Structure 1
């Protein structure tokens, strides 16, 4: 038995060294391309058409659907990813014969190299077909890698959902700068996906679920939530953080604040945030929510921006939260949108920064002291006067050029300043 253990340990070490060696050889000194995220997201409004197609495919899930995806749409989404993760760059090229996906990932400074370059060639035809995946100098057969990813995803979810997902694509047609996915009816796949999601949900953070349920129950019992007219979000925040302060020590304040924010997102944002936490509703079959959605600066849309961004920050990273808000505003520049709004962007940034400081162990307790029984929006929400909004693409381009231009950067810096001077970010307790 001891000899067998030594043999298996030796094999494991050899495999580990071999994989490490392949990774080192794959690292290169230069990226295979350079992409400007500010130029890529300049076509963000085109993604609205793609989102509408996806919504339609879900609504009409019992029939076959054709999903048309343009090169601009894909590169806009890649630009969004790049703005969320600065170390990532990507680019997509679609031709009638194939589609090429290029990715470069920037590594931290090291003596070996800075970039991992990946090239994927996708072919038209029946189902999803990858000709090859190239990582650095190594060429991997595309279908072999696809099967490996499917097997791993199925193993992780303890299901065949990854296999089903790939099989949903019946045919791929490619044209110049456009590809069309012919999708099988989604009804059964969506049912199975929901079952998998429910199964994975049981392995989440039980302490977070229980605390979120506690705060959600208390929010549902507040008299202010039963008023027929919209109320300030501050009238919910004051009691919420009083309860959090009561339940916290200095060491546990960050975790309690995390649960409080998730309860607020479920209650005052959208009840589907509960799907990411677990069974937290106080009554079976009934959603806890106020009679009317709260407001910030007398606007319900700003409440949504603030609360959604705070929740997304809790569930992800700060860069992703801000990038989502920015990308949404860029999509709104289309003629059927509400226009780019720096006011909305300010609400997004304020929500992200609120969640960040509230869940930082070094400041969480101070945040509770600031917010507990405080009913003033000015503690956590910035002044919005003078911030441009309702900008269509032509007007946005005229005033600010593109994202990351000096004029755009100046406006973002102004928003960041307005958020940074809020009382919630001053950790001295009065």
Structure 2
């Protein structure tokens, strides 16, 4: 028995050493691509057409559909990813014979190699046909790479959802600069996906769900929610954070209570679908609770949504992702049928993110409760928006700010951040 155990340990060490060696051999000293995220996201408005297609696919989920994705759209999304996580760079190239994706990921400084370079090639075909995946100097045949990724995803979700996804791609066609996906009816796939999502939570997720359900019921019972005129978000935040304060016993406890309170606010005065991130929290299910009138910030319903949406997204993502989402949405709005780029909206996005960050940090959570509990004044958590440009179509945006990351653009972002940083909830005494 001892000898068998010794051989197993040796075998395990050999496998670990081989895996480590293979990984080290994939590292390279230079990235295979050098792209500018500012240039890529300059075509962000093109993604609106793709979003409309995806919305239509959900509406008509019982029908077979074609979804067209352009090279500009893909690279705009790649640029968004790069702005969310700046160690990442990528580029997509679509040709009639094949489509390729190039990715470089920068690791921390080390003497072996700083970059992982990846290249993948997709072929036009019935179903999904991967020609190859190349990691560093190593080529992996497409069928092996695809089956490995599908198996890994199925294992991670304890399901066959990845296999189902691949099976729902009926055909992949390519022209110059465009990919057309023929997708089989999605209704059953979406149902299965939702069931998997609800079944992958852990104990911490269940605690958050129960606390969010508690706060959501308490918010829905507030007298302010019964009024038929628009009410400031501050009039919801004040009593909700009073409740959170009364239920907190430490910084860690306050962090959890604040997280649940923010999610309940996002579901109630933002959009009920935020409940999908938490679970079954509706107090009178299947009825969805909502206020009789929209919550507002600076007398604007759209600013409330920007603020509370960003706060909720921050709770479930890195700050970089939340910031990139807000910026990318504004870039899409520069199209002729959009509302235009708004630094006011961006200020609401940024302030929502920093609000959630302060409220859920154990070191500042109780301080935020002290400031917000019973406070019905927006000035405690929302910045002054006077003088911030909005409604900028693409030509006007480029005339005044050139592009994102220009000096003019950075100065405007710095002005917004300075106003947010001056808010009371971000100035905890040392």
- Into which bin does the TM-score normalised by the smaller protein fall? over 0.9
Query: Does the 8 Å CA contact 1:128/1:169 hold for their aligned counterparts?
Result: yes
**Structure 2 counterpart of 1:357:** 358
Alpha-carbon deviation of 1:242? 0.4
Q: CA-to-partner distance for each residue in 1:224-273, whole Å, 9 max, x for gaps?
A: 01100110000000001101110112331111111111111111111111
**Structure 2 counterpart of 1:40:** 40
**Structure 2 counterpart of 1:422:** 423
Query: Does the 8 Å CA contact 1:201/1:276 hold for their aligned counterparts?
Result: no
For 1:162-201, list aligned pairs within 5 A: 162-201=162-201
**Structure 2 counterpart of 1:232:** 232
Alpha-carbon deviation of 1:201? 4.3
**Structure 2 counterpart of 1:94:** 94
**Structure 1 counterpart of 2:75:** 75
**Structure 1 counterpart of 2:368:** 367
For 1:383-402, list aligned pairs within 5 A: 383-402=384-403
The 3-state SS of whatever aligns with 1:205 is helix
2:205 maps to 1:205: yes
**What is the alpha-carbon root mean square deviation over aligned residues?**
1.2
**Structure 1 counterpart of 2:156:** 156
CA distance in 2, matches of 1:43, 1:6: 59
CA distance in 2, matches of 1:424, 1:42: 34
Q: CA-to-partner distance for each residue in 1:335-389, whole Å, 9 max, x for gaps?
A: 1111110000000000000000111111111000000000000000000010000
CA distance in 1, matches of 2:142, 2:176: 22
CA distance in 2, matches of 1:260, 1:191: 28
The 3-state SS of whatever aligns with 2:232 is coil
**Structure 2 counterpart of 1:281:** 282
**Structure 1 counterpart of 2:137:** 137
Alpha-carbon deviation of 1:289? 1.6
CA distance in 2, matches of 1:215, 1:195: 25
Bigger CA drift: 221-230 or 243-252?
A: 243-252
CA distance in 1, matches of 2:379, 2:240: 17
CA distance in 2, matches of 1:347, 1:19: 46
Query: Does the 8 Å CA contact 1:350/1:380 hold for their aligned counterparts?
Result: yes
2:214 maps to 1:214: yes
Give unmatched runs, 5+ long, in structure 1. Answer: none
Q: CA-to-partner distance for each residue in 1:266-323, whole Å, 9 max, x for gaps?
A: 1111111111112211112111221112000000000000000000000111010010
The 3-state SS of whatever aligns with 1:403 is coil
For 1:232-271, list aligned pairs within 5 A: 232-251=232-251, 252-271=253-272
4+ residue segments displaced more than 6 Å: none
Query: Does the 8 Å CA contact 1:253/1:365 hold for their aligned counterparts?
Result: yes
Relative to structure 1, is the Cα distance of residues 201 and 291 closer, same or farther in structure 2, using a 3 angstrom cutoff?
Answer: farther
Alpha-carbon deviation of 1:398? 0.9
Bigger CA drift: 43-52 or 5-14?
A: 5-14
Give unmatched runs, 5+ long, in structure 2. Answer: none
CA distance in 1, matches of 2:56, 2:32: 37
**Structure 1 counterpart of 2:377:** 376
Count of paired positions: 429
Alpha-carbon deviation of 1:405? 0.6
